[in-house]
Amino acid sequence: MQLASCHCAELTRIIGGQFAAPAQFPHQVSLQLKGRHTCGGSLISENFIVTAAHCTIGQSPSQMRAIVGTNDLGAGNGQTLDIAQLIIHPQYNPQSQDFDMSLIRLATPAKLGAAVQTIQLAAADANYAADTLATISGFGAINQNLQLPNRLKYAQVQLWSRDFCNAQNIPGLTDRMVCAGHPSGQVSSCQGDSGGPLTVDGKLFGVVSWGFGCGAKGRPAMYTYVGALRSWIKQNANV
């Protein structure tokens, strides 16, 4: 089995699922590189976004912007924020996607309101039973032709238990990863959703990391497990 080769700015958009209503996901971020959506992210404080390391590695803050407070990138109604600093997890491994997490420090604070809110982080020991429903959201591709919708989509996926989601079944899986997906493979994150949120009970539980193509039957997508990196987030973002 091969890990999805990740230049994951091309990596992850929601396949299946539904279009989000305005202010339904007020923590959702669109990360833009030279004016084009490349990845998702989650607003965790007025000053910090959490995303995937593969979304920021090799990038310069001056070339990137964050857009918050919109469910339609074509509408021009969100806040566009400059980025002061990219903080990539020091143990991030681009080959294995282990420790695939990055913090983004904004140059000016996001203005909170109905359409822009922070999301709480799952606790360090957060754990859920298999088949717990989680929500993924993103501006990513909506089909395997990688067509981008401009509109925010979301879907529900099931968390996979460690009985299946382990290094025996999925070579390369580590304790910093959780699996979620839909047994049919018809609902999944895809190109452009990378770095975006996987939420359970309204808290950020995972960050879209890697997968086996979009919506492959019987294959989950991998998410960076927020709980495992909770202390690193606290140390660097004070959240």
Residues 14-69: tens digit of each pLDDT: 767 899 999 999 999 999 998 889 999 999 999 999 999 999 999 999 999 999 99
How does 140-178 read in b/e, with b if 16+ C-beta sit within 10 Å? bbbeeeeeebeebbbbebbbbeeeebeeeebebbbebbb
pLDDT tens-digit readout, 191-239: 678 999 999 999 999 999 987 666 666 678 899 999 999 999 999 999 9
Contact 35, 230 (CB under 8 A): no
List 42, 137, 188, 194, catalytic entry = 194
Tokens matching residue 62: 């001056």
- For the ranges 46-60, 74-88, 178-192, the lowest mean pLDDT is seen at 178-192
Tokens matching residue 225: 């497990």
The CATH code of the domain at 25-118+229-237 is: 2.40.10.10
pLDDT tens-digit readout, 100-147: 999 999 999 999 999 999 999 999 998 888 889 999 999 976 666 656
Query: For tokens 């975006």, what's the residue?
Result: 196
pLDDT exceeds 90 at position 5: no
Provide the H-helix boundaries in 27-181: 53-56
Question: Which of helix, strand or coil describes residue 64?
Answer: strand
Query: Tell me, what's the pLDDT at 9?
Result: 34
Contact 142, 153 (CB under 8 A): yes
Query: Tell me, what's the pLDDT at 4?
Result: 35
Domains of the chain by residue range: 25-118+229-237, 132-227
Average pLDDT estimate for 79-93: 98
Q: Has 231 been annotated as catalytic?
A: no
The CATH code of the domain at 132-227 is: 2.40.10.10
Q: Which residue has the higher pLDDT, 183 or 38?
A: 38
List 27, 37, 54, 182, catalytic entry = 54
Q: Which residue has the higher pLDDT, 211 or 13?
A: 211
List 27, 30, 37, 100, catalytic entry = 100
Q: Has 125 been annotated as catalytic?
A: no
Q: Has 194 been annotated as catalytic?
A: yes
